[in-house]
Homo-oligomer: A and B are copies of this chain.
Amino acid sequence: MGVVVQNIERADPAVIDGLGAAGVATVHEAQERKGLLAPHMRPIYPGARIAGSAVTISAPPGDNWMVHVAIEQLQAGDILVLAPTSPCVDGYFGDLLATSAMARGCRGLVIDAGVRDVRDLTQMGFPVWSKAVFAQGTVKNTLGSVNVPIVCAGAAIEAGDVIVADDDGVCVVARAEAAAVLAKAQAREAAEETKRRRLAAGELGLDIYDMRPRLAETGLKYV
């Protein structure tokens, strides 16, 4: 506690944007189904799709002092990712902090706690994925840390990892794997396009994926 790591490495911006375009479900599949944050992390408004580099915050329950500290560490394209050190739903973040973060090019917030001023945040176009919407105010009395490894909503995240977030939730991609995951995600998207056309034409997945033999072998009975 009480540490701010100032120089973090980030992934290639083009890779980050590619992952954002692929979206959470595809990226999750492309990296062998890992990296998802828990499904209680919901967007405050529908339609937002972002990707960026994680600036991580480990903060005590009900204390948002470290958010101010973290904002100084933001670079354009970053995403704030906050995990409280114990379960908390307080509103660590509102429109003033969003104004400050946006001024530094921040693309959004992922917080396993609460957020407030969601009407303002929606109008500002500052997307947030959170555990709760709650106006409960926080104090500035106890240190946490910035850019240290955290576990947020069940996922291990390091500073500089790529965060992808959309209506399906939030996924983290390890920085070192980002390029490889993007390649697989794009391959997957290409492959899905063909399948989508065949399915739309009425072909069955049972046939496209040749499932019938294994279903029969496994013992499925039609009655």
Contact = CB atoms under 8 A, between A and B. Distances in A.
A42 B133 contact: yes
A156 B167 CA distance: 26
Contacts of A118: 167-168
Contacts of A222: 4, 6
Contacts of A94: 25
Nearest to A207: B72
Given A139-B60, A167-B119, A39 B132 contact: yes
Interface stretch (A13-21, A177-185, A213-221): A213-221
Contact of A36 (B5, B103, B135): B135
A199 B141 contact: no
Interface residues of A, number: 94
Nearest to A28: B135
A138 to B, nearest CB: 9
A47 B167 contact: no
Interface string A113-132: 01011110010000000001
A29 interface: yes
Given A62-B86, A88-B86, A135-B168, A199 B36 contact: no
Interface string A152-170: 0011100000000011110
Given A33-B85, A42-B133, A151-B154, A68 B205 contact: yes
A168 B39 contact: no
Interface string A1-41: 11111100000000000000001110011001110101100
A89 B36 CA distance: 12
Given A117-B25, A135-B169, A168-B117, A103 B200 contact: yes
Contacts of A218: 2, 143
Nearest to A211: B68
B116 A90 contact: no
